[in-house]
Every structure is written in C-alpha cells, then in structure tokens.
Amino acid sequence: MRFSSLVAATTLGLVVALAPAAPGLAGPAERQANCTALGGTLSGSGNNQVCTVTTVVVSPDAPSGSPTTTFSEDRPVGDSVTVDTSQPVRQADPEVSTEERDAGDATVVETERTGTPVITEEERDAGEATSEDVVVAGTPTSTTRTERGTTTTTQQPTTTNCRRVNDDRSARPVEKCDRAVLTTRTTPTTIVTTTTTPQERVTTATQPRETLITTTTPVTEVFTTTQPRESCTTTTFQTQIATATTQQTERTATTTQPTTRLTTRTTTTFNFPRGTDVPTPSGTPVVTTSTADGDPVITTADVAGTPVVTTGTRPGEPESDVVCSPAAPVITSEDGETREDVTTATIPAEPTVTVTREEIDPLVVETEAPGAPIVETDTRTTGQTCYKNPATAEQRRNRC
C-alpha cells in the first residue's frame, strides 16, 4: 500500500542516517536510542532484540452517501416592490375651472408715426462770387503844342544892294551889286495834340444767392404688440390606480453531508544484524485499515422563498380635459426712439450785386502832325561887288 511504502522508505532513510561510520560493538543502550529515534518499541534480548515501529495515518474525511437538506420558515428580505396593475381610473365629481390665458407668442409690429414737419428757410451764398470790371471813359479834352525839330543851316551866295549903273534907256539894265552870303536856318515843327480822356473803373461784383429750405420731420417708432388670448375650461378628474405589492422572502437551506474517515495502521519490524546497533527492516510491513463515520459537513445558504403579493390602490395623477376657444387679443402700443428726418432743397434767390467806382489814370493819347517850318534868313555882305547883266569885259569878269 501507499502508506506502508512511505513508512518503509522513511524508516530506511533514518536507519541509514543512524549507521555508524565504522563497524563496532553494539550495546543495548545504542539500540534503544536508535529504536526510540524511529518511534518504535524495543523488545527482546540479546541478539534477538527487535524494534517494532507502528505508524497510524488518518486520511481526511471524505463525503459519503447523499446529502440531506432542510429549509427554515420564509422571512421578508429587502424592500417590497409595488407596481401598477391598471391604467388610471377617473373618479366622479371632477373640478371645473375657467381661465383666460395667453395663446401662443405675441407678435410685435413696428410702424412709424410721422409728426408735424418744421420748415426753416435760410438765404445763403451759392458758389463763388463773380466780379466784372468795366472801364468807363469820360469827356476827352485836347491840348496842342508845337515842338521844334533840328535846325538845318544852308548858305548860298547872293547879291544885295543892287543899283543900275548904265543908262536908263539901255535895253538891258546893268546893275552893280554887293556880293553877300545868304544864310537860311530852317527849323521843322511838329504839332503835338494831346487828348486826355478821364477814366473810371466800374467793378460789378455779383454774389449768387440761394434759399436753403430745410424740412425737419420727427418720426417716432411705434411698437404694437398683439398677444393672442384664449378662454379655457379645465375639467380635472382625480384618478386611482390598482397596485400589486410584492414582498420578496428568503429561507435558510441547511445541507448535511455524511463523511467517512479512513485510518491506516502500518507495523514495521526492525532487527539488528550481529555486531551492529542499526535497526534494519526485516520482513514486509503489516498494513491494516479501518473506516469510521467522520464529522458531517453542514452548510447553510439563504435561498429565495415564496414572494408575498398583496393588492391595493393608490391615487394617480389628476387628469384634465381642457377645452379652449379664442378670446379677444390684448393689443398694446409703445413708443420707441424718435429720429428726425431732414430733407433740404434749394431755390435760387436774387443775387447780391455790388457796384464800386474807382478813378484810374486818364487815357492820354498824343498825335503828331507836321507843322509849318520856321525859316530864318540872314544876309551878310562880303565887301565885294559884282555885276548883273554885264556889258563890258571888265564887268563880265566880275559877273554876279
């Protein structure tokens, strides 16, 4: 058997460990000590001493047979669970109420209210002024003056103081004259006519004008809010709902499992070879087994019991029937910001004309025309004489 083999092996190992290093004489005391070390009992005497070692091995209890289970009384466990088993049932004598209320969102319409316009007029310059200068001539006056030019001088021979020197009865008169030099000085003249015309500058400044017409009209925002309304009659019913309450239970299950206990007894005999004190197994170990009832294994567990179900009712949510019909809407009006719309227009106005007069330098015009030359003569005698119409040779030699 497995248990005897294990004991034999263990004992053999111990015997080997007790073997002396070298053979020697054995004594009773050493044999007793070695047998005690094996857990055995020494018996006999002399060379017939034996050591008997008995080992008992008790195996763990092993289940045997069928377990038996017993149950305790049911007991509540956890919270009860109530569930509705019907739809809400309306009760008699409903409450009836009527109210007027808003119906939907209000609508806001924005319009504008125009006030009384204010018109103002303002005359102002329109553009740049224009200026025009005109020179106006007065009555002219004239003056003349004579201007002399460069004098030229010419000289030519002439005679003077001529007197007849032959008979008055002669056909040709012979005249004896004094020789002279006629000096002629000629000075040309220019007649200068100065015409003076008085002048004045007449400046006409024209400033265009216009009339600015400003129309200011106040415009006010008007917000008109229309809130739809309705009249509603509400009929309210109280309700009841059937319920079922389930209370879970549990019970204790006690299970008893019978067991069997196996006891194995192994007896091994050791002898002592001659001259040694080392116990040596002799023969086959004797193994005997026995069985007995072990301790039963008792286990408990909580298991579900039979649920307890009770029925009842509970108040449900009130149910209301609402019938609505349109009512007169609520209309409110509110003014918002006011702005001013300004329009302008312009119309031409009479221009502003300013005339200024300023005397300026007169216009002087000089014209020139040739005048009569101034001729001056001067006769100077030379102290010599000559003859006109000479009759004799001597006279002809001194001809004028």
- 50-66: pLDDT as tens digits: 999 999 999 999 998 89
Give me the mean pLDDT over the 217-238 stretch: 96
- Tokens (6 digits) for 156: 């030519």
Question: Residue 342 CA to chain centroid, in angstroms?
Answer: 36
Q: Give the pLDDT mean for 389-399.
A: 89
Taking phi over 0 as left and psi of -120 to 50 as alpha, with beta for the rest, 232 belongs to beta
- Answer yes or no: pTM beyond 0.75: no
Domain boundaries, the chain: 1-58+260-292, 59-258+296-397
pLDDT of res. 2:
34
So what's the pLDDT on residue 18?
43
Separation CA 206–CA 134 (nearest Å): 14
**Arithmetic mean of pLDDT over the chain:** 89
Question: In angstroms, what CA-CA distances link 313 with 134, 226, 239, 240, 262?
Answer: 121, 48, 10, 6, 65
Q: Is 296 in contact with 255 (CB distance < 8 Å)? A: no
Could you report the per-residue pLDDT of 123-156, keeping only the tens digit for each?
999 999 999 999 999 999 999 999 999 999 999 9
What's the confidence (pLDDT) of residue 28? 83
pLDDT of 8 higher than 70: no
User: Using CA atoms, how far apart are residues 219 and 341, in angstroms rounded to an integer?
Assistant: 7
Residue 158 predicted with pLDDT over 80: yes
Start-end of H helices in the chain: 2-18, 28-38, 393-397
Rounded Cα–Cα distance for residues 226 and 108 (Å): 6
Q: At what angle do helices 28-38 and 2-18 cross, to 10 degrees?
A: 140
- 366 near 192, Cβ under 8 Å? yes
Mean pLDDT of 94-105: 94
